[in-house]
Amino acid sequence: MKSFTMKVFAILFLLAVVALPCSAWWFGNDPRVEPHEDVSDECLRLAAWGRCEFYECLERRFPCGHRGFAIHVGLHFCRKIINMMDDFTPDGQRWMNRTSICLTNSLLPVYQSYVSRCDDINDVGADGIIACNSRTDQDGQDFCSFVHDNSEEYLDIFGMEEIRRMLRLRKPGLLGRMLVDGANCGAYSLRDRFLSVTGVVNDMIGTMQEHWEDLTDRWTNFWN
C-alpha cells in the first residue's frame, strides 16, 4: 500500500507542477462573479434535501460554465449516483443520501454569498467532498464501511470520466485523497485504475503542448 500511495502522490505532484502554473498563464486571474439571480427559498430547500437541482441553482446564481464545479462535478456526480442508487446496499443508499445532503449544504454559504469566484467555488466544493467523506454518522457508519460493502459500486462511481473531470478542476489533492482513501477502505481495483491516470496525464501534457505551440505560432506571426 505504501508503494501505491507513493505513486499517487508522485503523479499528483506532477499534475500540481505542470497543470497549475500553466492554468495561471493560460487562463489569467480568476475574475469575480456577481450573482445573476436572487437566493430563492426553493433552492434552499433543494440544498436541505440534497437534491441535484441545487447545483443548477448555484450555477444560475454564479455562472462558471460547464467546466465549473457546480455543473462539471457536483451535478454530474449527483445524477450518476441517483441513477445507481438501486445498486447500493440499503446501508450504502443511506450513506449516499446523507452524503448528498452534506455536499449541497457545504455549498450553501457560497450560494448565499454576494460575490464569488469560480476558483473559490471549486475550492469549497473540493473541501466539501473531503469533509463529507471523512465524517462518521451517529449510527457509526463511515466512508470505509460504505466502501467495504459497496466497493464495486464505488468503483463504478469513480470511472475514468470522473477522474478526467477531477483533473480539469486542477485540484490534484482531492483526486489523490479519493483514490487513496477508496483503496485503503477496500476498493482495491482503484489501484489499477489510478495507474491508468498516467495516460490521462500524458494526454493533458500533449494538449498543453499543442496550446503552447499554437500560441507560439500566433506570437511569431504577429511580429513578422
pLDDT in tens, 18-71: 444 444 434 445 678 888 999 999 999 999 999 999 999 999 999 998 778 999
Q: Is the dihedral of CA 164, 169, 170, 174 positive or negative?
A: negative
Quick check: 193 and 155 in contact, CB under 8 A?
yes
What does the alpha-carbon distance between residue 168 and residue 22 come to, in Å, rounded to a whole number?
12
Count CA atoms closer than 13 A to 116's CA, side-chain side: 27
Per-residue pLDDT tens digits for 119-129: 899 999 999 99
Q: Is the pLDDT of residue 78 over 80?
A: yes
Confidence at residue 56, expressed as pLDDT on a 0 to 100 scale: 97
Query: What is the tens place of the pLDDT at every residue in 191-218?
Result: 666 556 555 555 544 554 554 455 455 5
State the pLDDT at residue 214. Answer: 53
Task: Read off φ and ψ for residue 51, nearest 5 degrees.
Answer: -80, 145
Q: How confident is the model at residue 154 (pLDDT cuts 50, 70, 90)?
A: confident
* pLDDT at 136 (0 to 100): 93
pLDDT value, residue 189: 65
Average pLDDT for residues 102-109, to the nearest whole number? 96
Give the residue with greater pLDDT, 23 vs 92: 92
Give the residue with greater pLDDT, 93 vs 213: 93
Q: What is the mean pLDDT of the chain?
A: 78
Residue 104 has pLDDT above 90, yes or no: yes
Give the pLDDT band (50/70/90) at residue 1: low
Cα separation, 186 vs 19, whole angstroms: 30
Domain extents in the chain: 2-223
Average pLDDT over residues 121-140: 92
pLDDT at position 3, please?
Answer: 53
Mean pLDDT of 101-112: 96
45-58 burial by CB neighbour count: b if 16+ within 10 A, else e?
A: ebbeebbbbbbbbb
